[in-house]
Chains A and B, each alone.
Chain A
Amino acid sequence: MKTASAVCSAAMFCMLGSGCAGWKATTKTILADTHKAAKELSVVAEPAFDQKCSDVAHKCKAVKDTECKPLVDCEDQFKKFNRAVTAVHYLVATGYSLLALDARDSMISLVLKLGNTMKGLYALANEFGVISWKL
């Protein structure tokens, strides 16, 4: 997360500064790196959620609780996490469109939003116990 924040800060500095001719290249790197980070986080979180929710399911099965409210909660957490990951990917896709349009001002706000969405994603992963990184 610290790396992602530092990269986003560097991108913002570059994009806001008038002397940075390669803002598109820098931004494109940011988008690719963010996509990769979200993908990797997703790959790490999936087995962790699987373990966590499977354990809950087995506990419900043991007491014949077919409604299994704890599993509903676990499933909701997984879906909430996936929505956040998907939001990052959609923002990255939008970023590529903005690059093609040369829309620097819109790109600045998108990079800010992307940084916040990534931060929220790591916070969710931490909150749900699928990663133990400190923000």
Chain B
Amino acid sequence: MEAIITAAIGAAVKLVELIFLGTKSKDLSQDEIDREIKRIADKEQSLVDKWWNIVK
């Protein structure tokens, strides 16, 4: 009986974990990370161009 309860609790915890991971994965995707990396690179280029245009 105790083993069954333990297994049931374990399965429930696993289910909650899977649901949680599934939900969270929508919050931060590889695409989002790639977009942020690209945004940083684009912003860097535009600022550097802007600064050197001031000097010219």
Give A residues with C-beta under 8 Å from B.
Answer: 21-22, 24-25, 28-29, 31-32, 35, 39, 42, 46, 49-50, 53-54, 56-58, 60-61, 65-66, 68, 71, 74-75, 78-79, 82, 85-86, 89-90, 92-93, 96
- For the complex of A and B, list the 9 residue pairs with the smallest distance between their C-beta atoms, beginning with the closest: A57-B54, A57-B51, A32-B28, A93-B33, A53-B51, A60-B55, A57-B55, A68-B55, A25-B20
- List the interface of chain B (C-beta within 8 A of A): 10, 13-14, 17, 20-21, 24-25, 27-28, 30, 33-34, 36-37, 40-41, 43-44, 47-48, 50-52, 54-56
Give the chain B neighbours of A58 by CB distance below 8 A: 54
Q: Is the CB of B43 within 8 A of A71?
A: no
A-B contact pairs, 8 of them (CB 8 A): A21-B17, A35-B28, A54-B54, A60-B55, A71-B55, A82-B40, A86-B41, A89-B40
Task: Name the B residues within 8 Å of A74 (CB-CB).
Answer: 51
Give the complex CA separation of A96 and B17 in angstroms: 15
B contacts with A: majority SS = helix
Pairwise interchain contact B13-A22, C-beta atoms closer than 8 A? yes
